Copies of this chain bind each other. A is one copy, B any other.
Amino acid sequence: MNFLEERILREGRVLPGNVLKVDSFLNHQLDVALLDEMGVAIHRRFADAGVTKVLTIEASGIAIACSVARCFGVPVVFAKKSKSSNVGDDVYSAEVASYTHGNVSQVIVSRRFLVPGDRVLIVDDFLANGCALSGLIAITEAAGAQVAGIGVAIEKGFQEGGRLIRQRGYDVASLAIVDAMDARSGTITFRQQD
């Protein structure tokens, strides 16, 4: 079991509706040392991928993205949730459905910060149905940039996002993949990884 899986077992709370609460270290309170350890692990996995930018989405992806980008010595770009669907032509945009909030938002990235030739490492805290990552992939490719890889803290392996994105040929590394969890007993089962 790796450091993140151990921390999830220790502090994660399984709630009804397949909700995994990790807000004591990953997405409300942030354990910066743990984020840095995740940054090192994701950097190690993609060290040879020629990464020029780390792309994430506000809000809870920003912290881990910074820890990853520090290892690569490249900037972070975070996609913003737009207030209006009427976006300007100075941005790339994609629609992202939120599993947690049950709505669809427009996310945008300024054209100035993603350019052809960029090799983009997409980073996020969670991968469930893959909507956020699909939006970030679409934005990357609309910019004429390349997806160098996708690094995720926690993947819900029992939802289809990870499988679908890997089927499309993207290299996805998830530090912890939860294959099953049970709200009644609080049990969490991780997928065995190398």
Residue numbers of A with Cβ under 8 A of B are: 23-25, 28-33, 35-36, 58-60, 62-63, 65-67, 69-70, 73, 75-78, 80, 83, 101, 109-110, 112-113
Give CA–CA (A28, B111) in the complex, Å. Answer: 11
- Is there contact, CB below 8 Å, between B63 and A32? no
- Is there contact, CB below 8 Å, between B66 and A113? no
Give CA–CA (A65, B62) in the complex, Å. Answer: 11
- Write the chain B residue with the least CB distance to A102: B83
- Write the chain B residue with the least CB distance to A36: B70
- Is there contact, CB below 8 Å, between A66 and B28? no
- Write the chain B residue with the least CB distance to A70: B32
Give CA–CA (A167, B58) in the complex, Å. Answer: 33
CB-CB under 8 A from A33, the residues of chain B are 70, 73
CB-CB under 8 A from A59, the residues of chain B are 58-59, 62, 78, 80
- Is there contact, CB below 8 Å, between A28 and B101? no
Query: Which among A29, A36, A113 has the highest number of chain B CB atoms within 10 Å?
Result: A29
- Indicate which residue in B28, B35, B69 contacts A78 across the interface (CB closer than 8 Å): B28
Of all A-B residue pairs in the complex, the 6 with the closest CB atoms, nearest first, are: A58-B59, A59-B59, A30-B76, A29-B113, A62-B62, A32-B70
- Is there contact, CB below 8 Å, between A112 and B63? no
CB-CB under 8 A from A25, the residues of chain B are 75
A59-B59, A66-B66 are contacts. A75–B113 as well, Cβ < 8 Å? no
Query: Which among A32, A60, A65, A83 has the highest number of chain B CB atoms within 10 Å?
Result: A32
